[in-house]
Amino acid sequence: MPLPALTLSLQFARFDGAAEHRAALPRHKVMRWLRHALASDAEMAVRIVDTEEGQQLNRAYREKDYATNVLTFDYAQEPVILADLVLCAPVVEREAREQNKTLQEHYAHLLVHGTLHAQGWDHETSEEDAQEMEAYETEIMTGLGFTDPYAT
């Protein structure tokens, strides 16, 4: 079965250390990771931001006054998935270090995670939903050649 079609805008804000994040996110790999997490065709923007922009967006849209790893803005799921994913580079980098993962591996996981959110998956509704979403993320990530992102 062919993978869904994806139109992607990959954007990087200007911030210290942006080159390392660009290197971890080659367009062809980002496309591959997202397409493996999609159930249907999509148009998506992925933006890599600094702490200030990440915090501003989280405050404005989730009323949480801190920068988080990934924000998903889902606009439509039919007939085409329309979504924006915003990833906060310093948070992703810190979490990758804390979890003993490469920057690329953690970005791949968060892109898969955010893409599932764009399709209606939610881990905050119940423990059962969280376990189902984590299991699906693990299936996608291992299928992409990564280790289980939730293994400790």
* Residue set of the binding site for Zn(2+): 113, 117, 123
d(CA 41, CA 35): 8
d(CA 25, CA 17): 13
Binding-site positions: 113, 117, 123
Helix (H, G, I), strand (E, B) or coil at 70: strand
d(CA 117, CA 121): 5
The one-letter amino acid code at 146 reads F
Bridge partner list, 44: 8, 83
d(CA 81, CA 9): 14
d(CA 50, CA 79): 32
The one-letter amino acid code at 76 reads A
